């Protein structure tokens, strides 16, 4: 069968009460778009009857594809499984399975992507229907994330997003990185726009997030910053700090050496221990930088990975705002072709 134009990826964990409603709403939202579509529901090792309900719906909805994990791997792994299953679609849309995201926003996101030429459209829960504590924690985390990544969007945590299929072919997520997909996509030069979307309070089930999520987000943020800045040049990260420690360590050591040469006792001085510590740690960081450079080459070269990505879909052709001849005229430069022709004409006249 030909690949669908739109694939909707929905990770689910213990959402048996929401499953049937979600599938029905997605089908109703997309039926009038005139586009072929499929719904990839990823059961993340649910302990209730979510998987059974989804498999029961496949007879009624032929566009429904169900993936069932043997155990709970987390939302990031579920999203990556959905991306792998929908990699041939022109556009991939992600959303939560708790009915808080509105499937009827999907056509608006597709239209926004078409109008703006964006590679990614991020939903913005402008009027978020969650308890105040969660909303404020999310806002603080989002502001920190904007500073760290440089991707200025209001709501990194909203799962309702639309991606061009070609973008996801180069993008892989691990750990808890599903919250940081805009930041990861920006590394590939993706054009990202934001669209206010509806948000509803949870009707069935309970939230799967706890305080430990905040710790995981903080750790992933450090990892994201490192990969964004130093993935292709780890020596710059480790070497810079290593030199900052080595230089004062060597200066202290040189100072103590001079004192020793002039007869001073330096064996019990704390400055000696500090000097040795700085030198040892600095050398270790430089060694870590060298190892990082070697691992970078191992990461890229054996499997033919490149340090860059190329656009597979080129923008629509358009005429330049200023013709080439006009630019040359303003710069008072004659085209090289005309100069050559004039020289040839001159030679011909002399021969005549």
Distance CA 306, CA 170 (A): 10
Name the residue with higher pLDDT: 299 or 47. 47
Same domain, 150 and 256: no
Same domain, 39 and 52: yes
Establish if 312 belongs to a structural domain.
no
Task: Strands of 198-301 (E only): list them.
Answer: none
Out of 177, 197, 230, pick the residue that ends a domain: 230
Q: What is the pLDDT of residues 216-270, one digit of tens each?
A: 766 777 777 777 777 667 888 888 889 999 999 999 999 999 988 888 888 888 8
Same domain, 148 and 28: yes
Q: In what order do the strands lie in the sheet with 37-43?
A: 64-68, 37-43, 6-12, 91-94, 161-164, 120-125, 192-197
Establish if 1 belongs to a structural domain.
no
Mean pLDDT of 68-78: 88
CB neighbour list of residue 204: distance below 8 Å, 6 or more residues apart? 15, 17, 18, 98, 99
**Is residue 351 predicted with pLDDT exceeding 50?**
no
Establish if 62 belongs to a structural domain.
yes
Same domain, 154 and 241: no
**Is residue 348 predicted with pLDDT exceeding 70?**
no
Query: Residue 70 — very low, low, confident or very high, per pLDDT cuts 50/70/90?
Result: confident
Q: What is the pLDDT of residues 10-23, one digit of tens each?
A: 999 988 898 999 99
Q: Which domain holds residue 259?
A: 234-300
Query: Could you tell me which of 82, 98, 92 has the C-alpha nearest to residue 6?
Result: 92
Same domain, 252 and 118: no
What's the half-sphere exposure (Cβ side, CA atoms, 13 Å) at 99?
Answer: 18
Out of 184, 213, 230, pick the residue that ends a domain: 230
- Judge contact between 14 and 50, C-beta under 8 A: yes
Q: State the pTM of this model.
A: 0.68
Same domain, 151 and 277: no
Establish if 308 belongs to a structural domain.
no
Out of 197, 230, 263, pick the residue that ends a domain: 230
Q: Within 10 A of 170 (CB to CB), how many other CB atoms are there?
A: 17
Angle between helices 16-30 and 50-57 (to 10 degrees): 30
Q: What is the pLDDT of residues 273-315, one digit of tens each?
A: 999 999 999 999 989 888 887 876 776 565 555 554 555 665 5
Establish if 259 belongs to a structural domain.
yes
Q: What per-residue confidence (pLDDT) applies to 203?
A: 77
Establish if 310 belongs to a structural domain.
no
Distance CA 158, CA 143 (A): 14
Q: Within 10 A of 109 (CB to CB), how many other CB atoms are there?
A: 23
Give the pair of three-digit tokens for residue 326.
Answer: 């006009």
**Is residue 154 predicted with pLDDT exceeding 50?**
yes
Query: Could you tell me which of 135, 279, 137 has the C-alpha nearest to residue 215?
Result: 137
Instruction: Please report, in angstroms and rounded to a whole number, the separation of the first and last CA atoms in the chain.
Output: 73
Same domain, 73 and 125: yes
Q: What is the pLDDT of residues 169-195, one digit of tens each?
A: 877 887 777 778 888 888 777 889 999
Its sign, for the CA torsion 32, 34, 38, 41, is negative
Establish if 212 belongs to a structural domain.
yes
Same domain, 251 and 343: no
Establish if 295 belongs to a structural domain.
yes
Q: What per-residue confidence (pLDDT) applies to 116?
A: 92
Same domain, 274 and 335: no
What's the half-sphere exposure (Cβ side, CA atoms, 13 Å) at 275?
Answer: 15
Quote the percentage of the chain above a pLDDT of 70. Answer: 79
How many domains does the chain divide into?
3
Same domain, 99 and 159: yes
Same domain, 57 and 126: yes
CATH number at residue 89: 3.90.550.10
**Is residue 346 predicted with pLDDT exceeding 60?**
no
**Is residue 144 predicted with pLDDT exceeding 60?**
yes
Same domain, 151 and 257: no
């Amino acid at each position: 069968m030909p690949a669908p134009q739109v694939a909707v990826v929905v990770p689910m964990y213990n959402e048996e009460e929401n499953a049937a409603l979600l599938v029905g709403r997605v089908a109703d939202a997309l039926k009038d778009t005139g586009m072929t579509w499929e719904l990839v529901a990823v059961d993340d090792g649910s302990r209730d009857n979510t998987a059974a309900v989804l498999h029961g719906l496949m007879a009624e909805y032929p566009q429904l594809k169900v993936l069932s994990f043997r155990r709970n791997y987390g939302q990031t792994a579920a999203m990556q499984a959905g991306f792998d299953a929908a990699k041939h679609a022109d556009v991939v849309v992600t959303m939560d399975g708790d009915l808080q995201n509105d499937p009827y926003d999907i056509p608006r996101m597709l239209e926004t992507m078409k109008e703006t030429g964006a590679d990614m459209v991020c939903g913005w829960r402008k009027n978020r229907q969650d308890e105040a504590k969660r909303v404020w924690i999310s806002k603080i985390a989002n502001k920190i994330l904007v500073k760290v990544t440089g991707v200025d969007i209001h709501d990194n945590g909203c799962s309702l997003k639309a991606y061009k299929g070609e973008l996801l072919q180069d993008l892989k997520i691990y750990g808890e990185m599903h919250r940081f997909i805009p930041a990861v996509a920006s590394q590939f030069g993706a054009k990202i726009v934001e669209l206010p979307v509806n948000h509803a309070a949870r009707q069935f089930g309970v939230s799967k997030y706890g305080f430990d999520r905040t710790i995981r987000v903080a750790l992933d943020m450090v990892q994201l910053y490192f990969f964004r800045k130093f993935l292709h040049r780890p020596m710059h990260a480790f070497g810079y700090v290593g030199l900052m420690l080595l230089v004062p360590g060597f200066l202290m050591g040189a100072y103590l050496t001079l004192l020793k040469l002039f007869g001073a006792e330096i064996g019990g001085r704390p400055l000696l221990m500090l000097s040795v510590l700085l030198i040892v740690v600095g050398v270790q960081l430089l060694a870590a930088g060298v190892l990082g450079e070697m691992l970078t080459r191992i990461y890229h070269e054996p499997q033919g990975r490149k340090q860059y990505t190329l656009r597979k879909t080129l923008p629509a052709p358009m005429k330049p705002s200023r013709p080439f001849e006009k630019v040359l005229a303003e710069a008072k430069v004659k085209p090289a072709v005309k100069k050559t022709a004039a020289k040839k004409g001159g030679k011909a006249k002399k021969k005549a």
